[in-house]
């Protein structure tokens, strides 16, 4: 006789099984919920080469597993325009973004930067005080400095040897003059070099400002708040007459962009190249046999070289400001993070800077490069002017440089730029 179970008993058992299953599911869900941590994703807008931030992002995400960094990379000019348009509309999709240091005042005035007094307090004693000073505006820290910069003169040994041009000295105190560079470059061309000389950033204010400064022309802005143009004095005219002469005489190439110049030197086509220390690792990977010398100056003028660099700011419209501060502190104040973020550039965090000099100073040429760099940073730096109108100023001047390079008469084109600047800067004068 078969075993019989009543319908009522079956129903009771089924109810118990359902309750047990429900209990197990609930317990698992609660356990998962207790163990789960929400991930915050920060969008970091930048203008650097691919790979620049790979190491620092990997280091940060390992130390902060609940925060992910999403990179959004744009070209330099497009990035600044994107910041102005997107943050101008209070767009919340940008959390952290790079700020070219002379633009701090312009962005802060427009309300596009979150003040960072808490990070400034952490940075004191750990970060170069000059770098902190130039990233403040109106008494407030608005961005955190990441790098500084300087310039030097690279030369192609084979091209100079072939032209019987003596190698310039690597003695930091004895730079060539700009006039000598152009003459030696012409000589190298006659002996077979495609080009005698080129600037890295051929028509950008960052690299060309020292020409005017060396010739006694100043930064190009003066007066209260640096809102009065000063680009038509004899120093500016002298500097840009020389600048234009290098293109007119075909010592320098006209039809190249800043993105192409380093490759020309690396390919052995240029005798002299004016650029930053970040170019050295690229040239090391190329076949060019090169030497380094201090940045040139005008005969009878003062020694002057570009400086400052990128800093990092936080959008006041970000919904993730606490996480953003952690990331900014890691890449600018933390010794490990600052070193990982240096990427061939000069870090301003003190321990990372010491490490940078140690690494760059390997080998004879590295020691020469490090000595030149230290001397330039200590004695010859020319800061770009702090001005709420800097964006307008730089845009107008870069267009003027491009026109002078392509044949406009320097004196009249600088006069035109001065008139454009007067109109553009009037709105900031109150």
Whether residue 270 sits in one domain with residue 216: yes
> Could you give the strand order of the β-sheet that contains 270-275, starting from the edge strand earlier in sequence?
195-199, 270-275, 152-156, 290-294
- Rounded to an integer, the average pLDDT of 20-34 is 44
Whether residue 295 sits in one domain with residue 334: no
> Does residue 19 lie within any of the structural domains?
no
Whether residue 113 sits in one domain with residue 71: yes
Task: Report how many domains make up the chain.
Answer: 2
> Does residue 252 lie within any of the structural domains?
yes
How does 160-181 read in b/e, with b if 16+ C-beta sit within 10 Å? beebebeebebebeebbebeeb
Whether residue 313 sits in one domain with residue 257: no
Whether residue 346 sits in one domain with residue 217: no
Confidence of residue 361 (pLDDT cuts 50, 70, 90): confident
pLDDT value for 362: 84
pLDDT over 90, % of the chain: 87
> Does residue 104 lie within any of the structural domains?
yes
Evaluate if residue 35 carries a pLDDT over 50. no
Number of H helices, E strands in the chain: 19, 17
> Does residue 378 lie within any of the structural domains?
no
Evaluate if residue 3 carries a pLDDT over 50. no
Whether residue 336 sits in one domain with residue 197: no
Whether residue 420 sits in one domain with residue 342: no
418-424 contacts at long range (C-beta below 8 A, 24 or more positions apart): 418/229, 418/231, 418/232, 420/396, 421/229, 421/231, 421/392, 421/393, 421/396, 422/229, 424/389, 424/392, 424/393, 424/396
pLDDT tens string 40-71: 999 999 999 999 999 999 999 999 999 999 99
pLDDT value for 10: 40
For residue 206, what are the domain limits?
A: 152-307+384-428
- Rounded to an integer, the average pLDDT of 95-112 is 96
Evaluate if residue 200 carries a pLDDT over 90. yes
Confidence of residue 430 (pLDDT cuts 50, 70, 90): confident
Evaluate if residue 5 carries a pLDDT over 50. no
d(CA 146, CA 20) in angstroms, rounded, equals 58
Whether residue 158 sits in one domain with residue 115: no
- Rounded to an integer, the average pLDDT of 195-219 is 98
Evaluate if residue 211 carries a pLDDT over 80. yes
**Of 30-39, 127-136, 156-165, 261-270, which gets the smallest average pLDDT?**
30-39
CATH code of the domain covering residue 87: 3.40.190.10
Confidence of residue 37 (pLDDT cuts 50, 70, 90): low
pLDDT over 70, % of the chain: 91
> Does residue 91 lie within any of the structural domains?
yes
Q: Which residue has the higher pLDDT, 26 or 281?
A: 281
d(CA 229, CA 397) in angstroms, rounded, equals 11
Kindly state the tokens that stand for 172.
């930091």
Q: Which residue has the higher pLDDT, 8 or 115?
A: 115
pLDDT value for 344: 83
Whether residue 252 sits in one domain with residue 165: yes
d(CA 88, CA 111) in angstroms, rounded, equals 8
pLDDT value for 134: 94
pLDDT value for 26: 45
Whether residue 91 sits in one domain with residue 53: yes
Whether residue 246 sits in one domain with residue 157: yes
Contact 312, 98 (CB under 8 A): yes
Q: Report the range out of 11-15, 34-38, 378-382 with the highest average pLDDT.
A: 378-382
> Does residue 12 lie within any of the structural domains?
no
> Does residue 367 lie within any of the structural domains?
no
Whether residue 170 sits in one domain with residue 57: no
**Of 22-26, 116-120, 301-305, which gets the smallest average pLDDT?**
22-26
> Does residue 376 lie within any of the structural domains?
no
How does 281-301 read in b/e, with b if 16+ C-beta sit within 10 Å? ebbeeeebebbbbbbbbbeeb
pLDDT tens string 220-237: 999 999 999 999 999 999
pLDDT tens string 306-345: 999 999 999 999 999 999 999 999 999 999 999 999 988 9
Evaluate if residue 29 carries a pLDDT over 50. no
User: Which phi and psi (to 5°) does residue 41 adopt?
Assistant: -110, 125
Evaluate if residue 187 carries a pLDDT over 90. yes
């Amino acid at each position: 006789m078969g075993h019989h179970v009543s319908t009522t008993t079956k129903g009771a058992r089924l109810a118990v099984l359902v309750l047990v299953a429900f209990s197990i599911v609930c317990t698992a869900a609660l356990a998962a919920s207790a163990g789960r941590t929400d991930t915050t994703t920060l969008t970091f807008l930048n203008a650097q080469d691919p790979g620049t931030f790979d190491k620092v992002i990997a280091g940060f995400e390992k130390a902060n597993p609940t925060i992910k960094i999403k990179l959004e990379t744009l070209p330099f000019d497009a990035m600044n325009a994107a910041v102005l348009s997107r943050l101008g509309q209070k767009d919340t999709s940008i959390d952290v973004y790079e700020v070219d240091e002379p633009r701090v005042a312009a962005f802060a005035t427009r309300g596009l930067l979150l003040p960072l007094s808490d990070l400034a307090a952490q940075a004191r004693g750990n970060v170069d005080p000059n770098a902190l000073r130039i990233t403040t505006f109106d008494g407030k820290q608005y961005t955190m400095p990441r790098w500084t910069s300087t310039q030097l003169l690279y030369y192609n040994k084979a091209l100079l040897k072939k032209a019987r041009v003596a190698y310039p000295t690597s003695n930091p105190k004895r730079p060539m003059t700009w006039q000598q560079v152009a003459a030696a470059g012409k000589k190298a061309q006659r002996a077979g070099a495609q080009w005698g000389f080129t600037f890295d950033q051929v028509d950008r204010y960052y690299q060309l400002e020292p020409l005017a400064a060396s010739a006694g022309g100043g930064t190009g802005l003066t007066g209260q708040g640096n809102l009065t143009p000063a680009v038509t004095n004899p120093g500016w005219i002298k500097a840009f007459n020389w600048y234009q002469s290098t293109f007119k005489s075909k010592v320098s190439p006209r039809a190249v962009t800043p993105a192409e110049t380093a490759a020309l030197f690396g390919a052995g086509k240029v005798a002299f190249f004016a650029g930053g220390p970040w170019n050295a690792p690229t040239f090391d990977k190329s076949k060019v046999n090169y030497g380094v010398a201090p940045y040139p100056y005008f005969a009878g003028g003062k020694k002057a070289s570009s400086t400052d660099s990128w800093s990092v700011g936080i959008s006041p419209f970000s919904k993730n400001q606490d996480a953003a501060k952690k990331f900014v502190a890691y890449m600018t104040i933390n010794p490990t993070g600052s070193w990982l973020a240096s990427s061939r550039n000069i870090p301003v965090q003190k321990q990372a800077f010491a490490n940078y000099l140690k690494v760059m100073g390997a080998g004879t040429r590295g020691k020469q490069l490090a000595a030149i760099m230290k001397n330039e940073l200590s004695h010859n730096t020319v800061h770009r002017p702090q001005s709420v109108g800097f964006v307008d100023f730089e845009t107008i001047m870069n267009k003027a440089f491009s026109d002078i390079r392509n044949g406009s008469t320097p004196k009249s084109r600088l006069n035109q730029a001065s008139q454009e600047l007067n109109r553009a800067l009037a709105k900031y004068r109150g």
